[in-house]
């Protein structure tokens, strides 16, 4: 048995919102067991509304920054979780024994485009934040399941 934490990457299109929230939840809930990272297929910058709604649940992601896969070169991952359809469809092959799973979540910025108020816009971010939080609470079960289960 090793004392190393399981290295998990959350991958999205722009690493601005969903993957950042997932990394924040994983670090908050599983810091002792999981070494969490996030990246995007491209960099879009950190979404301030994602920072705001994560702060509402006492998870500070304000020091996170948008990364692409080249920023994580040299790291081997045990699990890669694609959190949006585009990342899932364009997910590269990872070296080593990385297991890749897809858990898609709605895109809060897209959902909030027609919002009439800030609170209406943030409601989309909050819903997705909470859905990601539920998934993160179940992450240890996913990690212990068989790869093809």
- From 29, 91, 112, 142, active-site residue: 91
Is residue 36 pLDDT above 90, yes or no?
yes
- The region, left, alpha or beta by phi > 0 then psi within -120 to 50, assigned to residue 143 is alpha
Distances 65 to 43, 44, 88, 144 between C-alpha atoms, Å: 9, 9, 21, 29
Percent helix, percent strand, percent coil in the chain, to nearest 5? 45, 15, 40
CA 43 to chain centre: 14
Instruction: Report pTM.
Output: 0.90
What is the model's pLDDT at position 149?
39
Domains of the chain, residue spans: 6-140
Which range among 27-41, 80-94, 122-136 shows the weakest confidence by mean pLDDT?
80-94
Given the residues 39, 84, 87, 122, select the one marked as catalytic: 84
For range 29-57, the mean pLDDT? 94
Active site residue 91: yes
Any catalytic annotation for residue 17?
no
For the stretch 90-140, pLDDT in tens is: 666 666 678 888 899 999 999 999 999 999 999 999 999 999 999 999 998
Give buried/exposed letters for 112-149 (b at 16+ CB in 10 A, else e).
Answer: beeeeeeeebbbbbbebbeebbebbeebeebeeeeeee
Q: Which of 8, 9, 11, 12 is catalytic?
A: 12
Is domain 6-140 in CATH 3.40.50.2300, yes or no?
yes
* Annotation marks residue 12 as catalytic: yes
């Amino acid at each position: 048995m090793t004392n190393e934490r399981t290295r998990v990457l959350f991958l999205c299109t722009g690493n601005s919102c969903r993957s950042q929230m997932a990394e924040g939840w994983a670090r908050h809930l599983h810091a002792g067991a999981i070494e969490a990272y996030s990246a995007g297929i491209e960099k879009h910058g950190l979404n301030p509304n994602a920072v705001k709604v994560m702060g509402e649940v006492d998870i500070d992601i304000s020091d996170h920054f948008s990364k692409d896969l080249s920023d994580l070169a040299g790291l081997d991952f045990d699990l890669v979780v694609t959190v949006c359809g585009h990342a899932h469809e364009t997910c590269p092959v990872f070296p080593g024994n990385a297991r890749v799973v897809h858990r898609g979540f709605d895109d809060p910025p897209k959902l909030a485009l027609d919002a009439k108020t800030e609170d209406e816009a943030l409601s989309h971010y909050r819903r997705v934040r909470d859905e990601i939080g539920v998934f993160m609470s179940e992450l240890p079960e996913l990690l212990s399941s068989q790869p093809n289960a």
